[in-house]
Amino acid sequence: MSRAFTPKVVTANALIEGDVVYLTADDRWTRDHAEAELIEDEAHAQLRLLRADRQRDIVVGAYLADARQGAGGPEPVHFREAFRTRGPSNYPHGKQEAGHV
Amino acid sequence: MYKYSDFDEAFVRQRNAQFRQQVERRVSGALTEEEFRPLRLMNGLYLQLHAYMLRVAIPYGTLSSAQMRQLALIAERWDKGYGHFTTRQNIQFNWPKLTDVPDMLDALGDVGMHAIQTSGNTIRNVTADHFAGAAADEIEDPRPTAELIRQWSTDHPEFQFLPRKFKIGVTGSPNDRAVTRSHDIGLRIVRGSGGRTGYEVLVGGGLGRTPMVAQVIRPFLKKADLLPYLEAIVSTYNLMGRRDNKYKARIKITVFENGMEKFRDAVDARFEQVKREFTGVDPAILAKIEHSFAPPAFRSAPGGGYETARKADPVFRAWTETNLVEHRAPGHAIVTVSLKAHGATPGDASAAQMRLLADLADKYSHGELRISHEQNVVLPHVHKSDLWALHAALKTQGLATANIGLVSDIIACPGMDYCALATARSIPIAQGIATHFKAIGLEEEIGALKIKISGCINACGHHHVGHIGILGLDRAGVENYQITLGGDHTENLTLGERAGPGFAYDEVVPAIERLLRAYLALRDDKAETFLEAYRRLGAEPFKAALYPAEAARDAA
C-alpha cells in the first residue's frame, strides 16, 4: 500500500512584492491561506503546481506545502508555513500588518 | 575615509543601469526567474520568506555620516523604516519591492555604496576590525588593505564563479576583533624582523555546517606581495576546490582534504607565476589608499568634566564602563552604541536612529561610524569631554543601553522571522534572554559573556564561537535549540562543544538561566568570567545545570 497523501496547497512569492501567495481553486492568487485550494489528490497537486509554474510573470518559486482542513479553510501544518501566513514575530509587518490574519 | 574614484563611480552606475534593464525584462516576462535569479543575486537581491531582501555592502564596516543618512532615507522611502545590520558588517533591507530596487541602488550609488558581490560564489564584502584606526592596541589600520582587496576583488573576471562564496577578514591588532580565524582567508597585520609590517596569512577557516579554525599558510607576507599572493590562493582554490558537492565546496574542505602542505605547495607554485604579472602598480595604489585613511586631527583638550559627570550620574557611569574602549589618541574614547536595547531586535536600527547616529558622528566623531560584526554601531573618535552630551543625545532615541559585552549584547541572525534558509527563529530567543535577565537583575552580576544565536546550521549568528552558542533546528516539525559551550571568537578562536540534547523553544530561556546561575555559584570570584570558569571546570558542572534530571539520575 502506498502512503496516504498529505493534503497540499500551492504556494509561492509574488513577483513584484515578494510576499507569500496561495493558489485558489478558481485560479487566483490569494494572500490568505484559508482561501487556498486544499488539494487532496497527488496527481491533481502536480497539475496545479505545473499551472503555477507557468505563471512566471506573477509568482516566483511555486511549491507544494502540507496543509490540513481547518474551521475557516485550509491551515498550514509546519511552523515555517504558519510563519509565512503571518510575517515576522518581532514586528507587526507582513501579512499581519495587511490584515490578512 | 576612502572616496570613490571616477572609475568606481562609473562602474557602479553602469552596473545599476544594467540591473534596471534586467528588472524591466523580468517584469515584462522576457527573462524567466531561472535566468534572472543569478543576475539579482550578483546585485545583492535575495527572495526571502515574506519579501525580497537587499543586502548592501559596508566595506570593512566603515560608514560616513552622509552614507548613514542615505541608509535612513532608503529605509524610509522604500522599506518599512528600518534596516538590519549583519554579522558581516552589512545592512539588509527586509521589505523592498522588486521594481523599487533599481532606485534603491541608484540612491546607494549617490553616496558611494552598492550591493555588488554581497551574494553569490564570489569574494564577498571584506570585513575588518570595527575599531580600525582608533584602537590603542593596533599595529596598523587594516582598512587600506581591505579597500585594496575590495578594488581587486570587485568584478574580478576570474573569480565570479568560484566553487563557493569566499570571505576575507583583516585585523591590524593582535587582539582579533574581526574573527579572522573563521574566514576563508584571514589576514593579520604583524610586525616582522626589522620592524616592517606585513601579513600573517591564514586560510581555511569557516563556521557553518563543518566549522574549522583557519591555519597559517604563510607566517609573514610582504605587503607588496599581498595581491599576487591572494590571487594565487584564490586561483588555486578555484581549480582545486570541489564543485560536485555544495557542502564540500568551501576552501576549508579543499585545505582539509588535500592537507595544508599540498595546498601550500600549489599556492606557492602559482604565486611564482602570478607575481610576474603584477607590475607593482598595487603597492602604489595601496599607498594612495593609505593616504585617504589618514587619521583625523584629534583635538588636544582637557577632559572637560568627564570624571565629574561620571561621579554624579550612575546611569552615565554604567554606560562608560561597558560601552567605551581605549582610544589611541589621548583624551579620546571609542564608543560602541548598542543596538541591543532589552527586547529589541539585535542589529536593527530605525531611520530616526540612523539619522541621529549620523548627526552625532558629525558632531562628535569626525563624521565617521562603524558597524561591528557584533551588530552594534561604533563612533570611533569621541573626545571624552563630549561623552556626557553624546550619552544624553543617544538616550532620546533609545540608543544609550549600557550592555556591551554583557548577557543581552547577543548576536542573532534574522532566523525564520525573515530568512528562507532558516530552520528556526533566532530573534525572539535573543529578545527573551535579554528581557529575562534584565527582569531578574542578574546582567551586571554575570558580567562579560558572549551569547550567539543562529537559526540554522549555516551559522550566520556565529553560534560555534559564542561562550554560549544557540543553534535553532527543525526537529520533526518543531523548533529545537542546541546549546554549545566554551566557544571563543578572538585570536584564540575556539569552537564550542555541544552540551547535549536540544531544548524546545520555550525551554531555552530557563535553560540559560540554570546555566548562568550555576556559573555564579561556581566561579572563584566576580573577576572570573563565564568562559574562564568553563575552562577551569570543564563542561560537566554546566551540563549538570542544563540537564538536572539526567544529573540527578547519574548521581542516584
Q: Which domain CATH number covers B60?
A: 3.90.480.20
Q: Are B96 and B143 members of one domain? A: no
Query: Can you read off the three cell numbers belonging to residue A73?
Result: 479553510
* Other beta carbons less than 10 A from residue A7's beta carbon: 18
Tell me the residue type at B369: L
Q: Are B24 and B60 members of one domain? A: yes
Is residue A76 within 8 angstroms of chain B, CB to CB? Answer: no
Name the burial class of residue B506, with classes exposed (0-12), middle (13-18) and buried (19+) by CB atoms within 10 angstroms of its CB.
Answer: exposed
Q: CA angle at residue B56 from B51 to B59, to 5 degrees?
A: 160
Q: Are B385 and B417 members of one domain? A: no
Structurally, how many domains does chain B consist of?
Answer: 4
CB contact under 8 A, B51 and A19: yes
Contacts of B435 (CB under 8 A, 6+ apart): B342, B343
| Residue B474: predicted pLDDT | 98
Q: Are B476 and B501 members of one domain? A: yes
The verdict on residue B121 lying in a domain is no
The verdict on residue B65 lying in a domain is yes
The verdict on residue B126 lying in a domain is no
CB contact under 8 A, B50 and A19: yes
A contacts of B99 (beta carbons < 8 Å): 16
For residues B415 and B332, the answer to whether their CB atoms sit within 8 Å is no
| Residue A99: predicted pLDDT | 62
Q: CA-to-CA distance for A84 and B445, rounded, in angstroms?
A: 40
Tally DSSP H helices, then E strands, for chain A.
3, 5
Q: Are B337 and B434 members of one domain? A: no
Q: Are B316 and B284 members of one domain? A: no
Q: Are B163 and B231 members of one domain? A: yes
Domain boundaries, chain A: 8-98
| Residue B450: predicted pLDDT | 98
The verdict on residue B125 lying in a domain is no
Q: Which domain CATH number covers B221?
A: 3.30.413.10
Shortest CA distance to B105 belongs to which of B58, B44, B61? Answer: B44
CA dihedral sign, ordered B231, B232, B235, B240: negative
Q: How many CB pairs under 8 A join A and B?
A: 75
Is residue A81 within 8 angstroms of chain B, CB to CB? Answer: no
Is residue B38 within 8 angstroms of chain A, CB to CB? Answer: no
Q: Are B273 and B312 members of one domain? A: no
Q: CA-to-CA distance for B531 and A45, rounded, in angstroms?
A: 53
| Residue B205: predicted pLDDT | 97
For residues B67 and B353, the answer to whether their CB atoms sit within 8 Å is no
For residues B400 and B318, the answer to whether their CB atoms sit within 8 Å is no
| Residue B4: predicted pLDDT | 87
CB contact under 8 A, A15 and B29: no
Q: Which DSSP category does B507 fall into?
A: G
Share of chain A above pLDDT 90, in %: 88
The verdict on residue B300 lying in a domain is no
Is residue B476 within 8 angstroms of chain A, CB to CB? Answer: no
The verdict on residue B483 lying in a domain is yes
- As averages over each run of 10 residues, the pLDDT of chain B (556 residues) reads 88 96 96 95 96 97 98 98 98 98 98 96 97 97 96 94 97 98 98 94 97 98 96 98 97 98 98 90 86 93 89 97 97 98 98 98 98 98 97 98 98 98 98 98 98 98 98 97 98 97 98 98 97 98 95 80
Domain that holds residue B49: 6-109
> Which of A57, A78, A88 minimises the CB distance to B417?
A88
> Which of A56, A60, A83 minimises the CB distance to B29?
A56
Q: CA-to-CA distance for B91 and B89, rounded, in angstroms?
A: 7
Q: Are B141 and B31 members of one domain? A: no
Distance from the first to the final alpha carbon of chain A: 39
Q: Does an H or E element contain B124, and which?
A: none
| Residue A2: predicted pLDDT | 62
Q: Are B419 and B537 members of one domain? A: yes
The verdict on residue B114 lying in a domain is no
Helical residues (DSSP H) of chain A, grouped into ranges = 42-53, 79-86, 95-98
Q: CA-to-CA distance for B355 and B369, rounded, in angstroms?
A: 12
| Residue B45: predicted pLDDT | 98
Contacts of B392 (CB under 8 A, 6+ apart): none
Beta-strand relationship, A73-76 and B62-64: unpaired
CB contact under 8 A, B80 and A77: no
Tell me the residue type at B481: Y
Q: Are B441 and B501 members of one domain? A: yes
The verdict on residue B191 lying in a domain is yes
